[in-house]
Structures are given as structure tokens and as C-alpha cells.
Amino acid sequence: MKIPVAYSFRNLWTRRLTTALTASGMALVVFVFASILMLAEGLRKTLVDTGSPDNVTVIRKAAGSEVQSSIDRLAASVVETQPEIATGPDGRRLVAKELVVLINLKKRGSTKPGQVVIRGVTSASLLMRPQVRLIEGRMPKEGSYELLAGSSIAKRFQGGGLHEQLRFNNRGWTIVGVFDAGNTGFNSEIWGDVDQLMQAFRRQAYSSVIFRLRDTSSFSAAKARIEDDPRLALEAKRETQYYADQSAAMSKFLRILGISLTVIFSLGAIIGAMITLYSAVANRTAEIGTLRSLGFQRRNILYAFVMEAMLLGLTGGCVGLFFASFLQLFTISTLNFQTFSELAFSFTLTFDIALNSLLFSLFMGFVGGVLPAVRAAHMNIVDALRAG
């Protein structure tokens, strides 16, 4: 016959102090494990959500990012003629030749600078990014030294707020509007007129060409035509894929870091659980002997102690995940390895992260409890009763 699960609950409650201490150690490990996964997922989601599957980003082959790309005017004009490009409400083709450069700005309340993306855009750029909405001020006038700042830039950098002034390349620029782009990387950018910015930075080439597809299924044809044209030396990607590639290196680094820290911390938690359960076995020798004398088999004793250890791990996992969920309230910034610019994003908790965290806590409980459980199951009935 089986030992009721309530038996394991009762034993954990009886040893409340040791249960709490061991569960706290496991909770800390799960907190670290979940927070790193949430960090990587937040970064990935922020960059992937920046793009649209209907938009195509064209950059120079092997450039990796817009910052490293250079497209001359002739090549940009060829891209503009692709028959797959959609038209806007005014009948104009939805294609934008954009410039992306980096400047250093000081952070608010600090002398430490950070690199910020300046993006030269056109009117079509806004039509292709419906997630971008003006929340303060007004839109810049074409051909002027006026800029739009992402909400993250306005909060974190000096000169990035509404009506504030920026000075770079011997010109003064005024922030006339602040926009919000939801949970996307655009919030960490400053936008301005592409022609004025090209003059200011003395650039003769664009960084990228963005266009909207008339039919999303026509991407393969447009991609093949652009990449096979020997005059261009360009590559085309769906905008979502382009931004997913931007997050790959950083996400991989965060996951490796998270796994390394988790392995180190989990060893301590597993040892703690093992010590706790070995102590429980030593203190319950007579109880184990009584259970065996009542007819409970060795496997029943084994299952009961393993169940107890896994309940301990699950308790710690739930506590750790509970506190990790509050990290979603915070926004942090980090360096994007592809563009070397600062990117603001939030921790993101998904169902898969929650499930993996709880499974990991159960695994820690199982590993920490299996040896004490084996010892308890193999106790001799007579010796156990005599020791009690």
C-alpha cells in the first residue's frame, strides 16, 4: 500500500524551520534562473517586436546591422523600383531610405555617456511603423533641425526631453516631439529628417532601405531579385528576422551566463536539501521502522521521501518564481552587441519560463532527496525499531 502524500506534507510542516531555510535556498536559485531567462526573453521580444513581417530591411551584404551598412544612392534607387513594394494612401510607394548613426549622450543624473541611435527617416518610415505614436509635442518639419525622441531616450538622457536641445556635428537640434513605440527598440532611438542628418554627418550613402510588401508572400521573389543583382551587393531580410538576428548574440550570452550561475547556485541548494533530508531520516528512524513493520514496502518509503524532497523543491520554486515575476515592473538598459548602442527593455515572464523554472526546482528536489530516500528505504526493520 502507498503512503499518503499528506504524510510528506505533515513532515515538512513539523520541521518548519529547516524546511523554510532549505526552500529559501532553492527559491534563490530559481529566482536567478528565472530572472536570467526573463532578461534574455525581454531583450529578444523587444527587438523582434520592433519589426513587422510585412516590412523588408535591405542592407549591405555581410554588414550585420544598419550601423555597419552602406548603400549608395544608385543601389537605393534600384531597390525602390521593386514591383513588390506596396503603395500608401496617397499613392506613393512605401519605401524609405534611412540613415543610422551613433552619438554619445550623457545620462540624466550622471556624467557617464552612452551611445544612442540617431535614425534619419522619411514620411514613409512613419507609415510603415504604425506602432510609433506621438505622445508629446508635434512632428518635426521636413528639412528642419528638429528631432523626435523615443520615450526611453527622453527619460534617460540629457537633452532628450521635449523642447530640450542637442548639439552634434556643429549643429543645434531641438526635440519637438516624444514618441512611444510600445515594447520595441525604437523607444531607444532619436529620429530626424534623413537629408538633414546626412548633411550633418557628411554621409553620401544610406544605411538601409526599408519597404512594405504589397503581398507578404512575395518576399522570396523580392529577396531573390535584390540579392542576385550583381550591381547591388545587398541582402534583404524580413524586418522581424533582421531584428531577431540583432538579439541573437546578446540573448545567447545571457543564457550562458544564466546557466553558469544557476549551476553554481543549484549545487549549494541541492546539498542543503540533501543535508536536511539526511537529518530527517536520522530523526525518524523509529518512525521508518514502524512503517516497515506495518507492511509498507521499501519502495513506498523511497517514494515518500522523494515526494517530500520534490515538494520542498516545488515550494522553493513557487516562491522564487513569485518574486521573479515582480522584475517585469522594471526597465533596464544594456549594450546591444550588434550596434554597440544602448537598448532599454523590460524583463518578460512567459509560460515556458515559468514551467521550466518549476521543473528545474522539482529536479533540484529530486536530486537532493534521492540519496537520503534510498538510505531510509534500505533500513533494517529490527535495527530501526531498536535505534528508536
Residue-wise pLDDT for 94-115, tens only, equals: 999 999 998 888 888 777 778 8
CA–CA distance, 337 with 284 (Å, rounded to integer): 55
Average pLDDT over residues 143-159: 89
Residues 145 and 13 in one domain: no
Residues 31 and 121 in one domain: no
Residues 109 and 228 in one domain: yes
For residue 180, report the phi and psi dihedrals to the nearest 5 degrees. Answer: -120, 130
Asked if the model's pLDDT at residue 340 lies above 60, the reply is no
Strand pairing class (189-193; 171-180): unpaired
- Comparing 67-76, 103-112, 315-324, 335-344, the range with the smallest average pLDDT is 335-344
Indicate the residue among 178, 199, 232 that finishes a domain.
Answer: 232
Residues 164 and 291 in one domain: no
In angstroms and rounded to an integer, the radius of gyration of the C-alpha atoms of the chain is: 29
For residues 162-200, b (16+ Cβ closer than 10 Å) or e, as one string? eeeebebeeeebbbbbbbbbebbbbbbbbbbbbebbbeb
Residues 92 and 29 in one domain: no
194 within a domain of the structure (yes/no): yes
Asked if the model's pLDDT at residue 193 lies above 80, the reply is yes
54 within a domain of the structure (yes/no): no
Residues 179 and 300 in one domain: no
CA–CA distance, 241 with 16 (Å, rounded to integer): 51
Residues 26 and 157 in one domain: no
Residues 165 and 290 in one domain: no
Domains contained in the chain, number? 2
238 within a domain of the structure (yes/no): no
77 within a domain of the structure (yes/no): yes
Coil, helix or strand at residue 381:
helix
Residues 72 and 168 in one domain: yes
pLDDT at 210 (0 to 100): 94
For residue 37, report the phi and psi dihedrals to the nearest 5 degrees. Answer: -65, -40
| Cα 100 to chain centroid, rounded | 23
Asked if the model's pLDDT at residue 172 lies above 70, the reply is yes
Measured at the CA of 145, the angle between CA 144 and CA 148, to 5 degrees, comes to 100
Share of residues in the chain with pLDDT > 70 (%):
80
53 within a domain of the structure (yes/no): no
270 within a domain of the structure (yes/no): yes
The structure's pTM equals 0.72
Share of residues in the chain with pLDDT > 90 (%):
26
CA–CA distance, 173 with 159 (Å, rounded to integer): 10
Residues 32 and 135 in one domain: no
237 within a domain of the structure (yes/no): no
Indicate the residue among 232, 261, 291 that finishes a domain.
Answer: 232
CA–CA distance, 267 with 270 (Å, rounded to integer): 5
14 within a domain of the structure (yes/no): yes
* Selection from 363, 242, 368, 376 nearest residue 303 by Cα: 376
| Cα 370 to chain centroid, rounded | 35
Decide if 133 contacts 157 (C-beta within 8 A): no
Indicate the residue among 205, 232, 259 that finishes a domain.
Answer: 232
Residues 250 and 378 in one domain: yes
Residues sharing a CB contact under 8 Å with residue 352, sequence separation 6 or more, in sequence order: none
What is the domain extent for residue 383? 5-48+246-387
Average pLDDT, the chain: 81
Residues 223 and 250 in one domain: no
At residue 23 the predicted structure's pLDDT band, cuts being 50, 70 and 90, is: confident
